[in-house]
Structure 1
């Protein structure tokens, strides 16, 4: 039977206020307002009811039923912030899952941001803040990394390796694979040849 490596992403952004470029720099300018805060809560609660609670409960049940069932979570910092504020029971489920020993949590940028593309310093800061949040609330320290939208370059991989992570996930892009398989591990062109696992887009879409 083929072995599958499952990873599930949990992210929920903050909605921005409806502003124009003419508002920037004025005393009244703000990226957020009370309307967006209310929308954030409503949307998170709706998705928690339809998706987060039932899926996390199912996964917890499967870990109890099958001792050899393992999987991975990628959880953004802003998701965990909102879960703590609006649906603490979702955090409780994540804590229970983390205690099973059958779940790996990936490191990533705190804000699900594109910091890796424009500032190595900001990128490292957000990754460190994300790791602190996971340790504070889930008592785990990630050993592998997933960048926002699986963005990858060898330069980013070197930054990830320098931060001490032992592996990285990225997208399996056909124009770079040249017919090679998505289902085998690769190595980045970094000092220590950081291991890289590829997402199988077709299988993911099927699931």
Structure 2
């Protein structure tokens, strides 16, 4: 199934309205954080994730912490957001500002998103802000509960897109939606493409 006409839930809309995007996406000196996705795309992908209050969510790619804060508001005090990023500087910054913003249901970890975070699994939902090659990586799929949803950018040769999958009763992932879009790849070390551009 493909398409981008996702129903906006009041929970998602209200949660986005509660998060100060500028606070997360800019450093104290006013310069912009590089690790941030387009606002509309973040909203679309969270809609594809179909998160609910009380969910336990794994986020791969903490970045600025903006999307983490939105997920924090969505899952509420009975839910948990586990976020992992390969960049120690972003992990430290996001941990500090999420705490300052009162996101007490969030834990940010330094780690390789390609293998998820097994010690905190299982997860009701998983969302990635970096692309995998060809298909959802098995370690990530294995950390998802049955009937859980994973949203992940994927790359196949010259084609990039974002897809959501539901894990069926036999443990297989079934694609349920797809939109166009591209992200930097999941890597084993921090990746700074904007430095290469300069």
Task: Specify the TM-score bucket, using the shorter chain as the normaliser.
Answer: 0.3 to 0.5
User: What is the TM-score of this pair, normalised by structure 1?
Assistant: 0.34
Higher relative contact order (CA 8 A, sep 6+): 2
Structure having the higher helix fraction is 1
Bigger radius of gyration among the two: 1
- Using structure 2 for the length normalisation, give the TM-score: 0.35
Q: Which has the higher strand share?
A: 2
